[in-house]
Structure formats: C-alpha cells, structure tokens
Structure 1
Amino acid sequence: MSNQKIKIMKTKLLLLLLCLVISVPAFSQNEKDHTTLEEVQVSPPEFTGIEGATRFLNGENANVSLLSQYMLNHVTYPEIDIESIREGKEIIRFTVHPDGSLTDFVVVNSVSPSIDQEVINAIKTTEGMWKPGYNNETIVPMEKEFSIVFKIPGTRSLQSLAASRYKRGSKLLLIKENPKRALRHFEQGLVYVPADKPMLLLHGVCLYELGDKEQACQDWNRIKALGGIEAEGWLENFCEMKGYAEMTEIISK
C-alpha cells in the first residue's frame, strides 16, 4: 500500500475512532470517603480544616471540611495571569503522611508556572489539618489529588476554548499533516479540559509522530485509566506499535 493511501486511511480511521470516543471533561474534585480493593479497606486522607488535627484523629469520623472551599479562601489569581488571560484547570498531586506533613508535590496539569506555585503554596498551609490515610488498620502515606479551575469572568467557557483548540489541532494533524503545530493546540486544549479523551488521543498521536513514543503512551494509558468501552479495545496495543502502518492496521481490525 502506498504512503498516500496509508495517510488517507489513517485520517479516515482516526476520524471514525473519534466518533466512537466519548469526551469526559472533569471539573470537580473527587471526594469519595473510601474505596475497597480486594477486600482491603482503604481510606484516603481527609482534609479537616483544623490546625493540629493530625495529632488526635485516629480513624474515628471527623467533621470533614471541603478542601476546595479552603483553597478558594487561600488562593489568589495571580495578576500576571489575569492580564495574560491564562485560564484552565490546575491539578496538583501530593502525598499526605501519617503525621500530617505534605510532600512530593507534582503538577499534573499546569495553567502557568505562577499558578502552579500559588496553588502549591496554599496546599502547604494545610499541613497538620489532615486525617491520615489508612490501609486496613495501618496508617500509611497516601497520595491526594486536588484540582481548581482558574476562570476570568466574562470570557468564553473552558469547554468552548478547548473545542476551538481541538478543531484547529485536528485540521493541522489530519489534513495539513503537521503534528508539530497541531501538538501546540492540543497541549493548550488539555490545559482547559485535562480529562478529555479525544484530545488526549490526538495529543498522543502527535507525540508519536514526532518520535516521543513514551509520552504518547502516557496519554493513551491515561485514556484507559479514565475508562470507557472504547478505551479497552482500541488502545490495548498502541504502545507496542512500530509505526503508523501498524496503528492503522490495528484500528481497521
């Protein structure tokens, strides 16, 4: 099969795949009290809003305050970002230790460096205000993820901004065959809607085209982690592919 035919098939099949993928933007913090895994009771850390709470919380029910409300009162939208109209969903992951200390801050989704630091600094002020995480009856260090949306009143919705970036990126990738330029649009789109599966899919395709297979696989594995029928069958073997010919062959089966 000629390269041109492969490219045409790639475009058609990817467009077909996109029709099957359900976009799932997530804009709320997961506040589940616990989850059960293989009969092991796991209780994640809980924010209490009480200074020194870690000293006396020992697994009994706590009067849990929403971390989101605390953060709204302690996070300031940096002026430099307001002036530059930088908007999006900031996601920070960190570890809550048995003594209530917080470490290992990781920026999962960045709106800007100044917003990264603003949110991390605010989270650090919650040290000692946490009910530790439990694995059965053992207190253990456990990761927690926090997200907050930065949005300037009067501007377009983040979903609308993401849709515009997705449309431009798709045209550049699938029609203009310019993954480098397309990647910039998908990157910005993911700032607005970091859990959007079609965006993650084509962001990964751009990376794959540009030779960054490891990062591409991270995007596709993220889609699998988000779940959905389409994630299981379509993405199972992508990270073992050698090139686009294999990708189109897998999709066409």
Structure 2
Amino acid sequence: MKTKLFLLFAGLFLSTVAFSQENIEEVRVSPPEFAGFKGAVILVNDANVELQSLNDYVATRLVYPEDDAQSFREGKEVIQFTVQPDGTLSDFVVINSVSSAMDDEVIRVLQTTSGMWKPGCNNKEAVAMDKEFSVTFKLTESSNLQTQATHYFIKGNKQLLLKRNPQRAIRHFDRGIVLLPNEKCLLLARGLSRYEVGDKEGACRDWNRIKALGGFESDDLLDNYCEMSGYADMLKTVKE
C-alpha cells in the first residue's frame, strides 16, 4: 500500500516537473462586460471604451412587483446567465429567489440587454461565459437587511445548537439567505443543518456556493462530507 502511494505521488511529481519545463503559451481570459448598446460584440478585445453601468441600467427599468410590495417582501435576487460569443444572453438560472415575481422581473430586464454585451474572451477569442447579477429589493432606504439577516442567523443557531432542531433552524437560515444570499456564515450554518436532516446534496450545494464565492470556510466540510469522485477513484486504484 505504502509502496503504491509512493510510486503514485513520485510519478505525479516527475510529470509535474516535466510539464513545467515545457514552453507553455500564457492563457489570458477576460470576463464578459455590459456595454449598454446593441452590437457591442464589436468591442471584443477593445479595452479602451467607456462601458455603461449594468446596475444603473437595471435600476431605471425594474418594477417592484405589486404583490411583493403589499406583502412587505424584501431581499436580494441573484440571477446567473450565459453571455454568448455574439453578446446575446441565454440560460438564465435563479441562484437566490425572493419571490417568483421578482425572479421574472429581474430576468425580464436582463433579457432586454441581450446583444449589449462585450463577450468574454479566451486568448482573444470570444467564448460563452457565465455571469452573475444581483439586485436588492427594498421598500424603504431605512430597511436594514443586514440586521434582519443577523436576527434570523441567531434564531437559526439557537434551534440548531441549543434546541437540536435542525429542521426548524433551516427555516430561519432560509429567511436570512433570502436577504443576504452571499453571506458565508448563513450558508455554512444552513449546510450543517441540511446535513443533519439527511439532505447531503443540499448541504454540499451550500458549501460549494461558499467556495464559488471565494471562501475557504467550507473546505474541511467538503473534504469530509461531500464525495469527490476523482479523489475517491484515486484511493480505490491505490488500494487495488
């Protein structure tokens, strides 16, 4: 077993050294950017151009859904979409939903920007790339989503850690995440609660979301509780 492990990692080390000695051309990747006018694809590889703010564009066209306003529903919508090589948009996915009406409204406005994008590039070649956009729905400027989310975080932790009721804890964490979908503490805690009730898939989604946001807080949980097929396959091979 130890001999196989040594040979495996020795092989990986030698191949890495050999690979690093090859003359590899630098890979340059640039993300898609909103330009604000139709036919923006002509801006591919043009860095010297003033781009319009997507936040400003959306803010002037977004309508607060009436039912949500009457229900005092607030929170942050997060929508993912793909910017195609011709600057058009496709494949809209709701990452965080406050309500279905808000989902539809944000997607409606984003769809009007199709063709107004400078596409992402890989070594100066336009390629399809994913983009994420978030917008906060607040009824008044005085609404403090951070305070509200913290309230739900505290209540959720009380249910999870003190009362040992992860199912009820999830409901509180859900409300907090609607308000602050990129808050890593909330995602981490909801992931733990989901794991406790047997929802391993949901737990791993929350922890992988933290990783996608650039956080390392969930690494141990991902390594210990979420199966990594490549690593598992490697260990299986070593044991044979």
TM-score normalized with structure 1 length: 0.75
Partner of 1:172: 159
Matched, 1:124 2:111: yes
| Separation in 2, partners of 1:218, 1:228 | 14
The more displaced of 197-206 and 149-158 is: 149-158
| Separation in 2, partners of 1:46, 1:204 | 32
Partner of 1:198: 185
Shift of 1:229: 5.7
Partner of 1:22: none
Deviations 1:160-192 (A, max 9, x none): 110111111111111111111111110110111
Specify which of 127, 130, 134 is matched with residue 140 of structure 1.
127
Is contact 1:47–1:65 with CA below 8 Å preserved after alignment?
yes
SS at match of 2:90: strand
Is contact 1:93–1:145 with CA below 8 Å preserved after alignment?
yes
Shift of 1:204: 0.8
Which amino acid in 2 is paired with 1:189? G
Deviations 1:55-101 (A, max 9, x none): x3232133211111100011111111111111111110000111222
SS at match of 1:74: coil
Partner of 1:60: 46
Specify which of 155, 168, 173 is matched with residue 181 of structure 1.
168
Which amino acid in 2 is paired with 1:104? D
> How many residues end up aligned between the 2 structures?
202
Is contact 2:204–2:222 with CA below 8 Å preserved after alignment?
no
| Separation in 2, partners of 1:200, 1:189 | 9
| Separation in 1, partners of 2:75, 2:131 | 20
Q: How does 1:220-239 map to 2 (within 5 A)?
A: 220-228=207-215, 230-233=217-220, 235-239=222-226
Sequence identity of aligned pairs in percent? 53
| Separation in 2, partners of 1:46, 1:157 | 30
| Separation in 1, partners of 2:186, 2:127 | 35
Q: In 2 relative to 1, CA 236–224 (structure 1 residues): closer, same or farther, beyond 3 Å?
A: farther
Partner of 1:150: 137
Matched, 1:110 2:93: no
Pick 1 or 2: higher relative contact order, CA cutoff 8 A, min separation 6: 1
Once superposed, what is the RMSD of the aligned Cα atoms? 1.8
| Separation in 1, partners of 2:181, 2:44 | 35
SS at match of 2:223: coil
Is contact 2:210–2:216 with CA below 8 Å preserved after alignment?
no
Which amino acid in 2 is paired with 1:182? A
Q: In 2 relative to 1, CA 230–216 (structure 1 residues): closer, same or farther, beyond 3 Å?
A: closer
TM-score normalized with structure 2 length: 0.78
| Separation in 2, partners of 1:144, 1:155 | 30
Specify which of 40, 44, 59 is matched with residue 31 of structure 2.
44
| Separation in 1, partners of 2:39, 2:213 | 35
Is contact 2:210–2:217 with CA below 8 Å preserved after alignment?
no
Deviations 1:124-155 (A, max 9, x none): 00011111110002110111111111111165
Partner of 1:92: 79
Shift of 1:193: 1.1
Is contact 1:204–1:219 with CA below 8 Å preserved after alignment?
yes
| Separation in 2, partners of 1:226, 1:99 | 27
SS at match of 1:75: coil
Partner of 2:206: 219
SS at match of 1:91: strand
Which amino acid in 2 is paired with 1:71? V
